[in-house]
A and B are shown apart, each in its own frame.
Chain A
């Protein structure tokens, strides 16, 4: 009787994976990714420049519902925080530091106090002096936007669910005032 042919299979054999095609794909892909990658990540700060009518409407709305919070600052006098509601005006002053720079930490603290007092206010008006640099304005916007300490949070009402929650955001909406006065 003829026996059926059985090929000999070595179950313990090792084989080498051919990585050359994979490497060929990667060699092509890496330069493409290198070209299209953004190594300097850019972000955006939103501001509003109210036009004459828009400014008037915005101001009216603010007067009815929320206080007007204004930050005036220049390189001679430092920062002045003005809070006005129903004709009641409160002013606070933050002096420049000993090396003639804005006291960002003190501003953040003061704005935390303002936010605690007026949790429903989100807009702040900026009135920078002509000599203030763009870098300083952006830094001041950062300081009023969020509290430095993550533990300090403010109550906010979720408009969808109606439930109260907390946020570390203070005044994310910045309006440059006196823009339309020429």
Chain B
């Protein structure tokens, strides 16, 4: 009689319990890391397309204010496009012909906010948060600053990323 090969006995309907201890460990570490990075500041600032913010060693957290973003393509207030940027300057049609530093649509928008605040008896904080691309020249940024100052927003907060 030939020898038969050994066959281990396998139970077909066997149930097994999954060991989830290591997975729980991993999730705990992940949760602690996420809690550390959780944005708990006073103001939430959304990143703007085509805007690479400069880095700074400042330790001040952003506050609430009117967000103006300046990219190499356009000038925006919150999500509204106010003016086009061409060759690192505001497109000519948006500038006052008598004052080339004065951006008309920006002034009108800020002035409108001022009037709305006055009608509701709210005090204008005069705070503007500027999110500008790091490679833009001062000549362009100055126009935004100048117009904001003229519209009654003299306190400018420059938004930066955490640097080295």
Binding site for B on A (CB under 8 A): 19-20, 22-23, 26-27, 29-30, 33-34, 36-51, 54, 128-135, 137-139, 141-142, 145-146, 176, 179-180, 182
Number of interface residues of B (CB under 8 A): 58
Q: Are A23 and B146 in contact (CB under 8 A)?
A: no
Q: Are A142 and B38 in contact (CB under 8 A)?
A: no
A104–B38 Cα distance when bound, in Å, is 34
| Smallest beta-carbon distance B41→chain A, Å | 8
A27–B129 Cα distance when bound, in Å, is 36
Q: Are A37 and B146 in contact (CB under 8 A)?
A: no
Interface check B1, CB cutoff 8 A: no
Chain A facing B: main interface SS: mixed
Q: Are A134 and B38 in contact (CB under 8 A)?
A: no
Interface contacts beyond A26-B31, A37-B37, A43-B62: sample of 5 additional A-B pairs, CB < 8 Å, sorted by A: A33-B34, A49-B149, A54-B154, A131-B139, A133-B137
Interface check B77, CB cutoff 8 A: no
A42–B139 Cα distance when bound, in Å, is 24
| Known A-B contacts A44-B158, A137-B138; A27 and B145 likewise in contact (beta carbons under 8 Å) | no
What does the 1/0 interface line of B128-159 toward A look like (CB < 8 Å)? 01001111111101100110111011111111
Q: Are B62 and A42 in contact (CB under 8 A)?
A: yes
| Known A-B contacts A179-B145, A180-B146, A180-B149; A33 and B35 likewise in contact (beta carbons under 8 Å) | yes
Q: Which of B20, B27, B63 contacts A20 (CB 8 A)?
A: B20
Q: Across the interface, which residues of B come within 8 angstroms of A137, CB to CB?
A: 138, 141
Q: Are A23 and B138 in contact (CB under 8 A)?
A: no
Could you jot down 21 A-B contacts, CB within 8 Å?
Answer: A26-B24, A36-B39, A42-B62, A42-B161, A44-B58, A45-B60, A45-B158, A47-B157, A49-B149, A51-B150, A51-B152, A129-B138, A130-B139, A131-B138, A133-B134, A137-B141, A138-B55, A142-B57, A142-B58, A179-B142, A180-B146
Q: Are A182 and B146 in contact (CB under 8 A)?
A: yes
Q: Which of B31, B56, B145 contacts A141 (CB 8 A)?
A: B56
Q: Are A44 and B129 in contact (CB under 8 A)?
A: yes
Q: Are A44 and B62 in contact (CB under 8 A)?
A: yes
| Smallest beta-carbon distance A173→chain B, Å | 12
| Smallest beta-carbon distance B142→chain A, Å | 7
Q: Which of B24, B99, B141, B158 contacts A22 (CB 8 A)?
A: B24
A48–B156 Cα distance when bound, in Å, is 6
| Smallest beta-carbon distance A26→chain B, Å | 4
What does the 1/0 interface line of B17-32 toward A look like (CB < 8 Å)? 0001101100110110
| Smallest beta-carbon distance B161→chain A, Å | 6
Q: Are A134 and B145 in contact (CB under 8 A)?
A: no
